[in-house]
């Protein structure tokens, strides 16, 4: 499968956006973790802005960044949202309520608890009726989402926005399912090369990849291992090099996504 990267979005501890993250992931700037601040998208109606949770804020922040970078229109861009745990804080709050005597679940919490809540708010925020899906593949969620976004871009010849996001579970679930840090990654993929294409990708599913990805910075490599969405960082790191490269991302059932990267050569004309 041959695809083009049209735009990127990134948010993680100490990495406020793709331009800042690119410098760190390319090794041109040191990695200094810092608290992640999440603000609700201004594209949302005021009433909705008050209701959205951190998971939705995170997904919309990185999604908007990638779409702006790609200069893509949401009206003609399909979207693939992927998360291993979705909104663990909202789910925990409901579970705590259900463990009490009165079991009075908040209706807003209930509709925010669905795995596709960010997809719903994205559609409301952008007024896009284009198709959207919401996926999960446990620790391989980023890989599953990336593969599906690639497949959709080639199937429909439309740009596809991929948003991968994961936030920690609080409390008791945080112990049985430790997810560290707040990480969101977004890419806009296209089957067609455009004037704004950042690089070309060649993607295939393989069962025999030699080297598994790691990041040179030890703190970032720990982040990669501890947050399912951060498993997309090796791809972003390879893109940040702005040089031909190759990255393998583990996928389900012993498969691997082999991704070859070829940066666009900008002619001087």
Contact 256, 204 (CB under 8 A): no
- Residue closer to other proteins, measured from CB, 135 or 186: 135
Residues 6+ apart with CB under 8 A from 39: 57, 61
**Separation between Cα atoms, residue 233 and residue 263, nearest integer Å:** 17
Measured distance CA(171)–CA(164) in Å, rounded: 23
Cβ nearer to other proteins, comparing 10 with 149: 149
In whole angstroms, the minimum distance from the beta carbon of 262 to other proteins comes to: 21
Q: Which residues bind other proteins (CB under 8 A)?
A: 1, 48, 84-86, 91, 94-96, 98-99, 103-107, 110-117, 119-121, 123-124, 126-138, 141, 144, 147-148, 151-152, 154-155, 171-173, 175-177, 205, 207, 251-255
Q: Which is nearer to other proteins, 144 or 223 (CB)?
A: 144
265/78 Cα distance (integer angstroms): 27
Min CB(35)–other proteins separation in Å: 25
How many whole angstroms separate alpha carbon 201 and alpha carbon 216? 22
The tokens describing 80, both together, are: 């693939």
Q: Which stretch of DSSP H or E encloses residue 150? A: helix 141-156
- Minimum CB separation of residue 78 from other proteins in Å reads 8
d(CA 147, CA 253): 14
DSSP state of 161: E
**Smallest distance, other proteins to C-beta of residue 194, A:** 22
**Closest CB to other proteins among 110 and 193?**
110
For other proteins, the closer CB: 115 or 214: 115
Q: What's the closest the beta carbon of residue 123 comes to other proteins, in angstroms?
A: 4
């Amino acid at each position: 499968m041959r695809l083009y990267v049209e735009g990127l979005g990134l948010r993680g501890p100490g990495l406020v956006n793709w331009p800042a993250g690119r410098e760190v992931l390319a090794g041109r700037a040191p990695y200094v973790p810092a608290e992640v601040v999440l603000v609700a998208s201004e594209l949302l109606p005021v009433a909705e802005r008050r209701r959205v949770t951190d998971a939705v804020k995170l997904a919309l922040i990185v999604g908007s960044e990638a779409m702006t970078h790609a200069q893509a229109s949401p009206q003609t861009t399909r979207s693939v949202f992927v998360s291993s745990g979705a909104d663990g804080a909202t789910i925990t709050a409901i579970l705590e309520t259900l463990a009490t005597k009165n079991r009075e679940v908040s209706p807003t919490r209930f509709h925010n608890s669905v795995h596709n809540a960010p997809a719903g708010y994205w559609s409301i925020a952008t007024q896009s009726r284009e198709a959207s899906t919401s996926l999960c593949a446990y620790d391989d969620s980023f890989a599953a989402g990336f593969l599906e976004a690639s497949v959709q871009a080639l199937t429909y010849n439309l740009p596809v926005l991929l948003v991968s996001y994961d936030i920690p579970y609080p409390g008791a679930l945080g112990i049985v399912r430790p997810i560290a840090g707040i990480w969101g990654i977004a890419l806009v993929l296209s089957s067609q090369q455009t004037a704004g294409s950042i690089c070309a990708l060649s993607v295939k599913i393989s069962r025999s990849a030699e080297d598994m990805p790691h990041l040179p910075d030890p703190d970032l490599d720990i982040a990669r291992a501890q947050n399912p969405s951060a498993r997309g960082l090796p791809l972003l790191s390879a893109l940040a090099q702005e040089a031909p490269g190759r990255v393998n991302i583990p996928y389900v059932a012993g498969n691997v996504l082999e991704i070859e990267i070829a940066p666009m050569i900008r002619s001087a004309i």
